[in-house]
Amino acid sequence: FKFNLWDTLGNPMKDMFSSSGQMLIIGLMLFCTGTQLKMSDMKDALHRGVLLILVRLGIAYALCAVFYMLFGYKGFLGISFLAFVCAVTSANAALYMGIISPFGDKADKASFGIMLICSMPLLPLLFLGFYGESGFGKAQVMQIVSLIIPFILGMVLGNLDDDIRKVFAGGNAIILPFLGFEFGSTINLIDAVKMLPQGLLMSVIYFIIVITPSYIFERLVLHRPGYASVASASLAGVALVIPSMAAASNTAFQPYVNSAVAILAFVLAVTNILCPFMVKFILTKHPADEQPKKNHKVVAAHSAAK
């Protein structure tokens, strides 16, 4: 006799707290995320934010391809290809905006919209689709279309009416705990404890891959303090849904879903805790208003000379 609490209770409890309601929660999160994307701010993001994000994601996806060629699905030291891709390609746009708001300029804040798009499951699923046993098929295409529709619908409504944007501004904060319940119902606690070393290693790898190239690019090419690249170095909660979504369209990923979610949950906690402290450290070394002050002095001196 096998007892299943959620099957016994039925709905709405089953879909609220078990894995059966994951896709509904994901759809709601994508809709709420879309409402916060202002198209009028996108032109400001093109000034600098897009370059920084392209460098970061370009290097991340290139390393994911190398990872697959070297280690395959299984990965190394307990870190599967699935877990690696879901981790290094993720960025927490909400935390980025919270950190960057007090001292970032208009271009920094406008990058929020680009980060929202890049933090969706769309790009990782597209990438993982090319490494499936049967290639990128119709099932993957339809799943991606299904992901895009609620996001675009939210984006359209949010841009048509600012009141809609305000109503759904805190939507993800309300929905996320329910997503946590649903993920938690699928995680074996013993497996999660076993994955702690892999989670710690993946956290270190995440920071190295995400921060190092983008920070160097921001400092040397964009001539900026570097806080924007560091502020984006945290895992998004939506990354935890990608393993199960990838496995739904490619059964080759199924054996790695539980371990990937356990690793990603650990990386999520570590990166979201450490990221604000790292930004604070960068600001002590390279103040955000350093460049504006220099420019102000130059203008003042030029005016005095006249």
Domain boundaries, the chain: 10-305
Q: Which residue has the higher pLDDT, 286 or 197?
A: 197
Instruction: State the alpha helices, DSSP H only, in the chain.
Output: 5-9, 13-17, 22-35, 42-47, 49-71, 81-88, 93-100, 106-118, 122-129, 138-160, 162-167, 171-184, 189-194, 196-220, 227-231, 242-249, 257-285, 290-305
CA–CA distance, 234 with 222 (Å, rounded to integer):
21
CA–CA distance, 248 with 22 (Å, rounded to integer):
12
The confidence band for 186, taking pLDDT boundaries of 50, 70 and 90, is: low
* Residue 204 predicted with pLDDT over 90: yes
User: In this predicted structure, what is the pLDDT of residue 302?
Assistant: 40
User: In this predicted structure, what is the pLDDT of residue 301?
Assistant: 39
Q: Which residue has the higher pLDDT, 97 or 250?
A: 250
CA–CA distance, 244 with 254 (Å, rounded to integer):
8
DSSP 76: B
User: In this predicted structure, what is the pLDDT of residue 220?
Assistant: 87
* Residue 303 predicted with pLDDT over 90: no
**CATH 3.40.50.2300 for the 10-305 domain, yes or no:** no
Average pLDDT of the segment spanning 253-272: 88
User: In this predicted structure, what is the pLDDT of residue 183?
Assistant: 65
Q: How many angstroms separate the Cα of 34 from the Cα of each of 47, 112, 116, 117, 273? A: 22, 12, 8, 8, 25
Burial of 121 (0-12, 13-18, 19+ CB in 10 A): buried
* Residue 137 predicted with pLDDT over 70: no
Average pLDDT of the segment spanning 167-183: 78
CA–CA distance, 8 with 79 (Å, rounded to integer):
36
The confidence band for 64, taking pLDDT boundaries of 50, 70 and 90, is: very high
